[in-house]
Structure 1
Amino acid sequence: MAGVLTEPLRSDVLTRRLRSGVVIPAHPLALDDGGAVDLRAQRALTRYYLAAGAHGMAVGVHTSQFELHDDRGLLEEVWRLAASEVAAAGGDALLVAGLTGDTADAVAEAEIAAAAGYQAALLCGWGMAEVTEEALLDRARAVGEVLPTMGFYLQESVGGRRLGRDYWRRLFDLESVVAVKTAPFDRYRTNDVVQTLLEHDRWDDVVVLTGNDDTIVHDLITPYRREVGGTVREVRAAGGLLGQWAVGTRAAVQLLEKVRAATAEGAVPVDLLADASALVDVNAAVFDVDNDFAGCVPGVNEVLRQQGLVRTARCLGPDVLSPGQAELIATVRERHPDLLDEGFVATHVEEWLA
């Protein structure tokens, strides 16, 4: 699988595609019973997302298990595996590479991802709790010389950190930054990011993507407005890059279509708000809210295991399902089958695994 597998996009083209509305699942890592990467299941997951109509995939992010970055050869193999499936399907889906580590590590990963055909880099903050905001900005600047970048506000309970408005202001100064994923699971901190963007000269160049899996619909329907220089500016999330959308991906595409239709009409139907509450119900089980998100990554894999797409929910690191979490997941699968693509997956799972 040597060589570039998809054509690079100019930043302005990438921005337009993101702004048009995107469902980008955070691609899981499928392991076998022995803890090795299950390449058959890994391909099947990518095929599922493409068949579901996802507009792109993010690989090497939290749902992919950050421990994957400890083995750069394996990371490259997983990146290229997804890229080869996209190329085989026509190469239209966006490929986002999750990057970790200090500046040198992140740049090295960005170069590998770019060679594999990835079009953007998500700047993950995992393991960077003690690093200064200045160092994070230096890393973003250096990565931006290799790939267009996406900022990322990751919640603290899964390895993120608090970031001030000055950080976001200076990040938006970088012309290589095309998007920001807001995933602090905190309305005040999400507001910090978007209000800072509204005040910035690049407010219309940087696309907001929700990563708040607990408030997906609310993020998508909510406009943020600010009068600046006598002109009213408006920003809203154009889509999402989400671990929750690694399951129920076809339903997510349909949900985004409903949201865009509602916002175009200027009225949010009650049924869409009902979908929002049902999705929170699903997310609570999958992300293991009862145990402060301890089982969020294996929870995603457990849904896929129960559906037959992967063989095990195990992870590279210490994360495991919490007691009773598998049963809760089975319950929400029965309660909300449409939100989890139950019929769609059951019909096509053998085809994707072939």
Structure 2
Amino acid sequence: MGLRWQDWPNGVLSRLRDGCAIPAHPLALNARREMDARRQKALSRYYLAAGAGGLAVGVHTTQFAIRDVGLFEPVLRIAAEAAAEGGQPVVLVAGAIGRTDQAVREARLARALGYHAVLLSLAAWKGAGEDEIIAHCRAVAEEMPLVGFYLQPAVGGLPLPASFWKRFCGIDNVVAIKIAPFNRYATLDVLRGVAEAGAAGRVTLYTGNDDHIVGDLLTPFAIRAPGCEAPLRILGGLLGHWSVWTRAAVGLHARCRGAAATPGLLALDAQVTEMNAVVFDVANGFHGVIAGCHEVLRRQGLLEGTWCLDPKEGLSPGQAELISAAALRYPDLTDDDFVRANLNTWLS
């Protein structure tokens, strides 16, 4: 029998529905491109100490190739162990990919390790019809609560219209959607689907649009649909960008959730996006997106290096210098002092 969101431990559901910061967890490797378990756990400890309300593990930022080298179960287990150390409710989200057999297997493993939901990537369904994809989602939802995932096409996602999101939200075990197409039109497709499904009270919206984080969190989306009277709000973020400078990200999220869209707060949208552009290597079509996150964490001492599982993945020429320049321009969006003060504890 699968897990339902109604069966979650006390505090987990409210943590998700109130909106929180959920970093997309990177993978700590050594120079031999093997997992460094000590630094892997240190990353989880860092995110939770920074105030993150959840961890997303086995997702794009963790590198999908962990499944090819036997690391999917170990990285999920390490994050779950770190979450258990604090004794506070932590929303544990595991990535699930592939066709139905694989995604169901991964959901079952995540459930066995104490995870609460799976972030369901649909990249393996390119060319499939909407009926097929919805049937796949229903099958995985029989195992675990789902967080929908609109992954941007530039890194493997596929276009998903409003009709898909309406049907997806009709699945009772859907609890949230990570909206990450990096496209305003496609973002509105998700919101339209949620509104028309009448699912706003059950399906919590999280931004994955690393290029528009503050704007997403501040905007009241007044989608006109039968029965949808109040504007929809994106309440949290499940973001690769929040895997770095996480303490500052948690503070930014709190400000966005607790304030009106003042000009000063709106101005941060461009600053955060500028920071994201250099970390995610937008100038080179996201080639150095994962290595860029690793580079920030390496400078802070959390990672030993920027190695990825694929030797062809790394920083683009000049990317490191761009990260340095952006961090100097916007030091208030970094958290180097916080990491410096706590690093030895997290690595112990």
Q: TM-score range, shorter-chain basis?
A: over 0.9
Following superposition, the deviation at residue 345 of structure 1 comes to 1.1
Q: Deviations over 1:134-177 (max 9, x none)?
A: 33222211111111101110001111111122211111110011
1:233 aligned residue (202, 212, 230): 230
How many Å separate the matches in 2 of 1:316 and 1:109?
20
Q: Deviations over 1:228-251 (max 9, x none)?
A: 447623211010100000011111
Query: Which shifted more, 313-322 or 244-253?
Result: 313-322
1:340 aligned residue (307, 331, 334): 334
Following superposition, the deviation at residue 48 of structure 1 comes to 0.4
Quick one: structure 1 residues 8 and 28, their matched pair in 2 at CA, closer, same or farther if it must change by over 3 Å? farther
Q: Deviations over 1:255-280 (max 9, x none)?
A: 11111121xxxx32222122222111
Q: Deviations over 1:250-305 (max 9, x none)?
A: 1111111111121xxxx322221222221111101000010111111111111101
Tell whether the 8 Å contact from 2:217 to 2:233 is kept in structure 1 after alignment: yes
SS in 2 for 1:225: coil
How many Å separate the matches in 1 of 2:6 and 2:345?
30
Tell whether the 8 Å contact from 1:8 to 1:118 is kept in structure 2 after alignment: no
- Matched with 1:4 is none
Identity %, equivalent residues: 47
Q: Which consecutive residues of structure 2, in runs of 5 or more, have no partner in the other structure?
A: none
Q: Deviations over 1:311-347 (max 9, x none)?
A: 1111112322111111111222222223121111122
Following superposition, the deviation at residue 90 of structure 1 comes to 1.2
Quick one: structure 1 residues 303 and 117, their matched pair in 2 at CA, closer, same or farther if it must change by over 3 Å? same
Q: Deviations over 1:167-221 (max 9, x none)?
A: 1111111001111111000000000110121121223211110000000000001
- Matched with 1:21 is 19
Quick one: structure 1 residues 198 and 47, their matched pair in 2 at CA, closer, same or farther if it must change by over 3 Å? same
Instruction: Return the letter of the residue paired with 2:232.
Output: V
Is 1:159–2:156 an aligned residue pair? Answer: yes
- Matched with 1:3 is none
How many Å separate the matches in 1 of 2:225 and 2:46?
43
Following superposition, the deviation at residue 9 of structure 1 comes to 4.3
Instruction: Return the letter of the residue paired with 2:328.
Output: E
How many Å separate the matches in 1 of 2:6 and 2:83?
14
Is 1:329–2:323 an aligned residue pair? Answer: yes
- Matched with 1:319 is 313
- Matched with 2:263 is 270
Query: Which shifted more, 338-347 or 92-101?
Result: 338-347
- Matched with 1:295 is 288
How many Å separate the matches in 2 of 1:90 and 1:13?
11
- Matched with 1:177 is 174
2:87 aligned residue (79, 86, 90): 90
- Matched with 2:56 is 58
How many Å separate the matches in 2 of 1:89 and 1:249?
17
